[in-house]
Amino acid sequence: MSEIQVWEHVIKWGLAQNPELPSDPTSFSKDDFNTLKSTLQQCIPFIRFRNLTSKEFLKKVKPYKKILPKELYNNLLEYFLDNNNDDTPIKKSEPRTVGEIKSKNIDSNIITNQHAELISKWIDKLETTDKSTTSYEFKLLYRDFRVYGSFTGYQNCQKACKNQFRTVTIYKMSDSNEILGGYNPIEWKFDGSYGITNDSFIFSFKNSDVILSRVRNENNAICNGSTVAPSFGNGDLRAINGSIIQCHKKSYEKPIRNTDKRDAIREIEIFQVV
């Protein structure tokens, strides 16, 4: 399946989920674009736009530019204007085939199968557009919700995770659709020490925006604080008392939030990758 066919199927599916929307994007209102954008926000990161030709981008993608993140659209516009690729993509990767991306049957209230697939690629140090080489199972170790203002306690979270290897921690923030998380290939100790590894990473998903940040200072990769839920780096992703998130870029390549203020967590899920 070519990339333009993937894009057309994604748009068709999005419209089918919202039958009240016009079939012609030139008739869309601002609210119509926002509705479609919300529906497709988890799909956009998986589209390999640079595999399109300039003509395909102009005729098929540009009419829906308002459903794309502004930065992504501007980057694509610059790319297609700078390259004379009317008939063929500049950098063509292998065509998609049915079954190339294997959905993970993940028991999660926060992330989708597509998120799990992307995290699996990051674990294998693959690019988003690379073909998956490993099929992982995400085994749920722990889940907690904010009920009447508090969680059951970070102690329960630590108990579920202590001495566990290869874990993915997911935090859903309150009052927003922001998702933060991290991968720890080594064991959790929660003894006040720092775990050493060069294979951990942290990430964020917000609407269609995806940020991956790999560890830079391996000596401070994993925070085993005694009063925190699973945390990463020297404050890069810190879950204070298991109920408050704060992020300062210190030990990882880039910040995963555009703010360093403290925000409440609404839900926690922790998986072991097997």
For residue 98, being part of any structural domain is answered with: no
| Per-residue pLDDT band at 191 (split at 50, 70, 90) | very high
Q: Give the number of other Cβ atoms within 10 Å of residue 143's Cβ.
A: 17
Judge contact between 170 and 232, C-beta under 8 A.
Answer: no
**Is position 88 within any domain?**
no
Residue 106 lies in a domain: no
Query: In whole angstroms, what is the distance from residue 55 CA to residue 80 CA?
Result: 9
Query: pLDDT category, 99, cuts 50, 70, 90?
Result: very low
> What pLDDT was estimated at residue 149?
47
**Claim to verify: residue 68 and residue 119 sit in the same structural domain:** no
Domain containing 29: what range?
3-82
Sign of CA dihedral 121, 46, 272, 221: positive
Residues 53 and 158 in one domain: no
For residues 254 and 122, membership in a common domain is answered with yes
pLDDT averaged over every residue in the chain:
87
Q: Write down the pLDDT at residue 161.
A: 92
pLDDT at 108: 94
22 & 136 share domain: no
Domain contains 107: no
Query: From CA 159, how far away is CA 182, in angstroms rounded?
Result: 18
Beta bridge partners of 169: 182, 270
Total domain count, the chain: 2
The whole-number pLDDT of residue 43 equals 82
Residues 30, 142 within the same domain: no
Q: What is the mean pLDDT of residues 36-42?
A: 85
131 lies in the same domain as 219: yes
14 burial via Cβ count (<10 Å: 0-12, 13-18, 19+): buried
DSSP string, 140-162: EEEEEE-BTTB-S-HHHHHHHHB
Residue 65 located in a structural domain: yes
Q: Does 21 have pLDDT greater than 50?
A: yes
- The DSSP line for 38-54 is HHHTTTGGG--GGGS-H
Residue 88 pLDDT: 55
Check whether residue 225 and residue 185 sit in a common domain. yes
Q: Which amino acid is at 243?
A: S
User: Are 268 and 166 members of one domain?
Assistant: yes
Phi–psi pair at 210, nearest 5 degrees: -125, 130
Residues 248 and 169 in one domain: yes
Query: What string of DSSP letters covers 193-224?
Result: -EE--SS-EEEEEETTEEEEEEBS-GGGSEE-
115: CB partners within 8 A, 6+ apart = 42, 179, 205
- pLDDT range class, residue 83, cuts 50, 70, 90: low
Calpha distance 101→241 (Å, rounded):
37
Instruction: Evaluate whether residue 95 is within a structural domain.
Output: no
Looking at the fold, whether 73 and 155 belong to one and the same domain comes out as no
Cα pseudo-dihedral 232, 208, 145, 213, rounded to 10: 0
If one counts every other C-beta atom within 10 angstroms of the C-beta of residue 135, the result is: 10
Which SS3 state, helix, strand or coil, does residue 240 take?
Answer: strand
Condensed to tens digits (0 to 9), the pLDDT of residues 197-236 reads 999 999 999 988 999 999 999 999 999 998 889 999 999 9
User: In sequence order, what are the residues at sequence separation of 6 or more whose Cβ sits closer than 8 angstroms to the Cβ of residue 69?
Assistant: 44, 207, 208, 209
- pLDDT tens, residue by residue, 126-146: 887 787 777 789 999 999 987
The answer to whether residue 102 sits within a structural domain is: no
pLDDT reading at 91 higher than 80: no
Indicate if 72 and 125 belong to the same structural domain.
Answer: no
**Judgement on whether residues 131 and 69 belong to the same structural domain of the protein:** no
* Domain-embedded: residue 258: yes
Digit-coded pLDDT (tens) for 140-168:
999 998 744 455 567 888 999 998 999 99
CA dihedral 161, 163, 165, 168 (to 10 degrees): 20
